[in-house]
Amino acid sequence: MRVSQSLIHTIILALVTSFADAYDPSPLQDFCVAIDDLNGVFVNGRFCKDPRRVVAKDFFFSGLNVPGNTDNQVGSNVTTVNVDQIPGLNTMGISLVRIDYAPNGQNPPHTHPRGTEILVLIEGTLYVGFVSSNQDDNRLFAKVLHPGDVFVFPIGMIHFQVNIGKVPAVAFAGLSSQNPGVITIANAVFGSNPPIYPEVLARAFQLDANIVKELQAKFGP
Q: Which residues are annotated as a binding site for Mn(2+)?
A: 110, 112, 117, 159
Annotated binding-site members for oxalate:
107, 112, 117
Query: What does each C-alpha distance from 43 to 30, 35, 89, 167 come to in angstroms?
Result: 12, 11, 16, 44
The SS3 call for residue 87 is helix
C-alpha to C-alpha distance for 17 and 25, rounded to whole angstroms: 17
Q: Which of 215, 206, 124, 212 is nearest to 167 (CA)?
A: 124
Kindly report the backbone phi and psi dihedral angles of residue 158, in degrees, each rounded to the nearest multiple of 5, phi listed first: -70, 130
Q: Is 88 within 8 Å of 153 (Cβ atoms)?
A: no
Neighbour-count burial of 128, counting CB atoms closer than 10 A to its CB (0-12 exposed, 13-18 middle, 19+ buried): buried
DSSP H/E element including 175: strand 169-175
C-alpha to C-alpha distance for 172 and 210, rounded to whole angstroms: 39
Annotated binding-site members:
107, 110, 112, 117, 159
